[in-house]
Every structure is written in C-alpha cells, then in structure tokens.
Amino acid sequence: MRYKRWLIVAYLLAMMAFSLSVLWVAAPAYRGYTTSDSGYFHHLAEEIVQADGMVTVHELSHPPQGLPVSISDQLQPLLAAMIYKGFHRVFPWLTIEDVTTHLSAIFFVLMFIPVFLIGKELAGDIAGCASVFFLATMASCPGTTSPVYWAKIGAFDRDILTALLAAWAIYGAIKVLKSPRESALKFAALAGLTYGLFPIAWLGYLYLVPVIIAALLLVLFKESLGHSTPSWGLNSIKESVKGNAHTIYGIAAMIGITFFVAWAIVGQSITGIISWGAEFVGLKAPAARIPRYASEMQPASWESLYGFYGGNVLTGIVFALVAVALVGVVLSRGRGEWILLPWLAALVFLAHSQVRFLRLWWPLLACLAGLGLVELARWIRKLSVSHGASSGWMHALKSPLALAICAILIATPFAQNAYAQARRTGPPMEAALHEALVDAGEWLRQNSPEGAIFAVQWSYGHLLTAVSKRRSVVDGCETWSLEGKWENDPNVTIRPPDYIWRPRIGQEALLVGGRRMDVDRLFSVDSDEEFAKIVRTYRDNYGIDIRYIVFDISTAYYAVRNAIFGGRVKARTTSWAQEEPRITFNFGENRENVVFHQWDMEVYIPVDNERTRFTGYALFSVYADGTMRFLDFGFYHSPDIREMLVIYINENNQLLGASLVEMGIPLSAKIFQLGWLPPAVTEIDYLRLRFTSQNGWVKLYEIVYENLPD
C-alpha cells in the first residue's frame, strides 16, 4: 500500500500548488504590504536580521522612544529572519522582503498537513483529503475572515501562523486522547512543545486550554455512561477516570509543558498567564478598560460567520456538512472526535466577543466539512444497503471514472469561487489609496533625511514605514509602558499623541481613542492655527519633531462634516419624489428639481440634457432621541453650485427630509481643503506641498516650523 501514501503526497502537493495560485491572483497588482500590520512585522524581521537576535524596541515606530516589542510578537519575524539567513547564503540575490512577502502563503499551505492529519485521525485518509480541499478553497470577500486576505502575496500578518499553530495543537491533543498507555506521555511531550511555541506568536493561545480540558471531560463522561457497572453514578465516573488515568496524565503533561515553555520564554508566571488570558477573552475585567476601537475587537455578526465561502450556496453546503459531522461526532464511539465540540463552542463564544477569532475557524471548519462529507457518504451507503441497492447505482459510483466525475462536479464551483474571490481581495484600503500611499512612501525614502518623522492617520503608518524606512508617529499601536506619565501634570495643555498618553480615572487607566485617534487631532482640527499649535507642542514638549504629514483623500470626510455643521443652511424640504435610482427634492427658488442619483452618487439639476452639479451629498441618520450620526458623503472636484445636499434618514433607513448647506471658507479648516474641496485653496504658509500621488489621492506636506504662527 506504499503507492497510496505517494498518491496522498501528490494530492497534497497539488492542493498546495492550487492554493498558491489562488493567493498569487489576490495580490500581484499591489505593491508593498497588503494587510494593516504587515509592515510592522516586516520591520521586526529586518531588525532581527541586523541584530542577530530578538529585538526589544521597534525603532521606526512611536518616536521618540520607539515601540517596545512584546515577546508574543517575535515568532513570525524570527522565523522569517532564520529562513532569510539560511537561504541567503545559497541564493545571495534573495532579500528579506522576498521572504516576508511570501511567508504567509507558505504558512497557509503548510497548514494543509495538520488539517489532513486531523481528518485522518478522525475518519481516515478520505476525510483528511476532503478537509484539505475545503481549506484550500476557503475564500470570501470582503476578506477579513478569509485566509486569502491574510495569506496572499504581500501579507505578513500573524493570523495564518496562529491558525497553523492551533491546528498542530489540536492534532497533538487528539493523539494524546487516542494514544495507548505506553505512548501517552511521548505524544504529550511532543504536543506540549509544539503548543508551547504559540505564546511567542500570540498570547491569545490560551483559548485552546479549556478546549483540550473539555474534550478530556467529554471522553470521561461518555465512557462512564457506557461502563459495565450496574447503574450509572459516581462509581461509573471513578472507573472511567481510573481506566483513563494515562490520558489524564497525558493531557496534564501537555498543558504543563506548554505553560512551562510559556514561562521560560515569555517570562510570565502561570498565574499571570491565566489572568491575562481571562482578560483577553473577556472572562475577567482588564486592569485598563479598553474600548473596542478596532474592527477586529468588535463582536462578529452571524452574517460574517456565514461568509467563509463567498456565495451563500457554497457556504450552505459546507455548513450542512458541518451539521452532519456534529451528528456523527455525538453518535460516534471514538475518542478524538469529541474535541471538535468544545473547539466549535469556544470559537462561537469568542467570535461573538471579538471578530478576530473568526480567523481561527479556518482549520476547524475545514476539518468538520471533511468529516461531514465522509459521514454523509457512510449514511448514503448504509441507506442503499438497507434498501437492497448495493448492487445498483451505488456499485456504479465505485468505478474510478464515476468517482472522478463526481469529484470534478463538486470541486469546480469551489475552485471557481476561490479564484473569483481572490481577484476581489486587496489591501485594507481601496486599491487607489494603497497605490498612492506606496508612492508617498517611496518619495519619503528617496527624498527625506534618515530619522525623519512623518504623521499619517490610522495604521497606514505600518505600510509607509515599510516602504519609506522612516519613523511614523501613527501606525496603529499603543505603548503600554508610559500610561500615567503626563496625566497629573497641571502645566500640560496639549497632550502628546494618544499612544503615549492615557488619562487615569481613580486607579484605572482608561484608554481613549486607541489607534484611530493617534494624533488624530491633526486631521480633525477646527483651524490651521490649532494645527500649528499642536505640532509645535509635540516638538517642543515631547521631542516628537514631525517633519512631514501625509493627507489622503479620506481626510476630506472631516472637511465635509465640519462644513455641514458650520455651514449656512440655504433651504430645507420634506417634499420629494422617488423613482429608482433617482430622488428628486423640491427646495423652491430655482431649486425645485434637485436630483440625487443613487447609482451615480451625484447631486444635480437637469438642464437641457446637461447636469448642473452641486458640491456633493452627505447622509445622516437621525435617532428617536434627536441625535444624529454622520454616515456617508460624496463630493465633486468642479461643482457648478457650492452647496451640499444633506439627506436625513431614520433608524429604519426611511427618508425624513433634506437640506441644502452652503459650502464656504472658512466654514472648515483650510487644512482639509488642500486640493480636494472646491475651490482649491492656496497653500498655508507653514505647509509646503512636496509630493502629490499620480491619482491625486495622497498629498505629502513638509512642515516649515520657521513659519508656524506663535
């Protein structure tokens, strides 16, 4: 039967090649790194290569002190550095960028190995092969729950690595649960050492501990029900525990070795590890109350849970197979299968708490679908035998040709969907903005002095630091070691950036803003004088000499919002006519036919087959208590009428009314009107335009401190 092993190896290699081709489709059009934190981990890999060892501070982030690097961030860049150093000796042309841009894709296809082994342990080779297929074709868009997004070329985030480590840990636990007495401790040691690598990649690894313990308890409970004692009770439980003593010791050894490795490498005490893990998954109130500012920290919706394969039909098929698998697990007499139940329950609970845990569904969902496919085939076979049809159509299906046709019919739509979703998967921002930011980063690398500091909103700083090799004020992280430093200083009137400032309420540190607010005031001030005061204070008081500031087209959001709230209302109306895709408002006084075209996203008055265009539109949601929320906007470069159509809807998306607001200077800060809002404004004295991207989506200004107003 050796040929069977080679067939399986050939199949796994073929699925790896298929998956790599899908991941390549997702990214070749994009330069630079294609997830939010990829630039951060890339720079850690670069610094590890230069230092010939782990680093404690990320120098290009969080000036002036740099960003302290947690030990839990080290494994992925460390592996990249080791791979680079090894291959660079043989292939001198290889760069660290070559490794970091392709490593997540390699991690993903390597995940096929533990996923196959899990399927094989639970239901044989066919289940293992089917599990690999469902993992290789898993693709959805928008892709933050899709492995394609995190594993495509140019992605170097740790989500794929954490899923890979989780798959190996579960496989190790299954081997311990199924191993005989003489080999339990051997498998426990191997599983514990493997699982022990997890804390160097991500401290959220602790979510698997209750999964493994619960699986052991389920095995003990199940076997106590079927014990030979006259009646079920404490004696049955005692006998079940006694009969499974080697399994209990094995699981305890596995978890103990994991904690020992975590303590030896991470340096946390066992109590500290457990306490931190409880905080992470929401079972214990954290010492610092952190609002869920990032999208990955928001609760997952059932819609996102149901989108792993893009189309509803394919996802429905997979979840139907999952349901079959779960029924099979409950009815089974095996031991390893029962770990799937707490694994699923934990991820449902954690995903409901934080959407980041949806990314850990990948190996679980693939294994359940593979197991379900095999279980379904068994049910069909039993049904056919019970009805005397074993020599009929079931016999025909056993021929290689029939099996090949069935496999092709099943596989084709999944493969086509994977390619289709990959073509729609890109970086976290729009493709045009990503391209413009890469252009700005290249300009900074070529034209700014080493050590120069730039500011940009949100985690675009990770991408820009990776491209520019310059220090970023804003890059999506917080520094946990400096909270409380400036809170009680009565002389501080302007605080430093949020990443080094956290106000203290009582004995608790309260994080306000998080990464979306780092130096965010620079992008939302009410006047250019306030902007000048902030950058001068950062330099003079905190040693943060911001020399460049990067504006992208999304900063026009603040200009529109400020202009609407501060603008002069020209007219209001509650009269309109709706005919898809147009809504025609009547404002009177030559504004009777103001059309909002919902497909073209334009506001205009039709005149002789021409359109007299307004500045744009803004959409507000009005709640029952009278409060409003700014939802969306659109604007135009060369309007005929400098007025904004403001549309109001209720919580049920029903139209309430609209108004026309005059857009004028200085209704919003001139900072936000630099070339985007009409008419174009002359440059501010202390901001010198140094670079404009080819598509106009990004503008880079140098701050001239000599011209800053006092």
**264 and 403: one domain?**
yes
Residue 520 has pLDDT above 60, yes or no: no
The model's pTM is: 0.78
**467 and 616: one domain?**
no
- pLDDT attached to residue 676: 42
Q: Is residue 670 part of a domain?
A: no
- pLDDT attached to residue 663: 58
Residue 63 has pLDDT above 50, yes or no: yes
**501 and 379: one domain?**
no
Residue 415, Cβ density class (10 Å: 0-12 exposed, 13-18 middle, ≥19 buried): middle
pLDDT digits (tens, 9 = 90+) for 208-231: 988 999 998 888 888 777 655 444
Residue 324 has pLDDT above 90, yes or no: yes
Range of the domain at 483: 431-556+681-707
Query: What are the residues facing 692 on neighbouring strands?
Result: 699
Residue 543 has pLDDT above 70, yes or no: yes
Q: Is residue 64 part of a domain?
A: yes
Residue 249, Cβ density class (10 Å: 0-12 exposed, 13-18 middle, ≥19 buried): middle
pLDDT digits (tens, 9 = 90+) for 621-673: 887 776 777 677 776 656 788 788 888 888 888 888 888 887 543 333 444 44
**157 and 235: one domain?**
yes
- pLDDT attached to residue 74: 86
The total domain count for the chain is: 3
Residue 34 has pLDDT above 50, yes or no: yes
**582 and 702: one domain?**
no
Residue 545 CA to residue 535 CA, distance in Å, equals 8
Nearest to 697 by CA among 524, 551, 558: 551
- pLDDT attached to residue 506: 46
Last-in-domain residue among 367, 394, 423: 423
Range 180-190 average pLDDT: 86
Name the band, by pLDDT with cuts 50, 70 and 90, for residue 387: low
**409 and 479: one domain?**
no
Residue 617 CA to residue 364 CA, distance in Å, equals 45
Q: Is residue 668 part of a domain?
A: no
- Asked if 69 and 40 touch (Cβ cutoff 8 Å), the reply is no
Burial 345-354 (b: 16+ CB within 10 A, else e): ebbeebbebb
**186 and 219: one domain?**
yes
Q: Is residue 209 part of a domain?
A: yes
- Asked if 162 and 151 touch (Cβ cutoff 8 Å), the reply is no
Instruction: Tabulate helix, strand, coil % of the chain (nearest 5).
Output: 55, 15, 30
Q: Which of 64-73, 150-159, 272-281, 406-415 is the least confident region?
A: 272-281
- pLDDT attached to residue 675: 40
Residue 553 has pLDDT above 80, yes or no: no
Name the band, by pLDDT with cuts 50, 70 and 90, for residue 574: confident
- pLDDT attached to residue 343: 93
Peptide bond connecting 496 to the previous residue in cis, omega within 30 degrees of 0: no
Residue 271 CA to residue 377 CA, distance in Å, equals 47
**162 and 209: one domain?**
yes
Residue type, 353: S
Last-in-domain residue among 403, 423, 443: 423
Q: Is residue 673 part of a domain?
A: no
Residue 686 CA to residue 674 CA, distance in Å, equals 13
Q: Is residue 19 part of a domain?
A: yes
**535 and 412: one domain?**
no
Range 344-352 average pLDDT: 85
Last-in-domain residue among 377, 398, 423: 423
Helix or strand holding residue 582 (H, E): strand 582-585
- Asked if 118 and 174 touch (Cβ cutoff 8 Å), the reply is yes
pLDDT digits (tens, 9 = 90+) for 413-457: 898 888 888 888 888 877 778 888 899 999 999 999 988 999 887
- pLDDT attached to residue 58: 83
The CA-to-CA distance between both ends of the chain, in Å, stands at 84
Query: What are the residues facing 453 on neighbouring strands?
Result: 471, 546
Q: Which CATH number belongs to the domain containing residue 548 in this structure?
A: 3.40.50
- Asked if 157 and 105 touch (Cβ cutoff 8 Å), the reply is no
Q: Is residue 676 part of a domain?
A: no
Query: What are the residues facing 595 on neighbouring strands?
Result: 584, 604
**186 and 279: one domain?**
yes
> Regarding predicted confidence, which is higher, 567 or 422?
422
- What is the percentage of the chain residues whose pLDDT exceeds 90? 19
User: Tokens 């408002």 sit at which residue?
Assistant: 585
Range 456-467 average pLDDT: 80
- Asked if 651 and 664 touch (Cβ cutoff 8 Å), the reply is no
- Asked if 478 and 511 touch (Cβ cutoff 8 Å), the reply is yes
**551 and 580: one domain?**
no
Residue 40 has pLDDT above 80, yes or no: yes
Nearest to 11 by CA among 123, 136, 107, 105: 136
Range 137-145 average pLDDT: 77
Residue 704 has pLDDT above 60, yes or no: yes
- pLDDT attached to residue 294: 53
Residue 53 has pLDDT above 90, yes or no: no
φ, ψ (nearest 5 deg) of residue 214: -65, -35
Q: Is residue 650 part of a domain?
A: yes
**88 and 23: one domain?**
yes
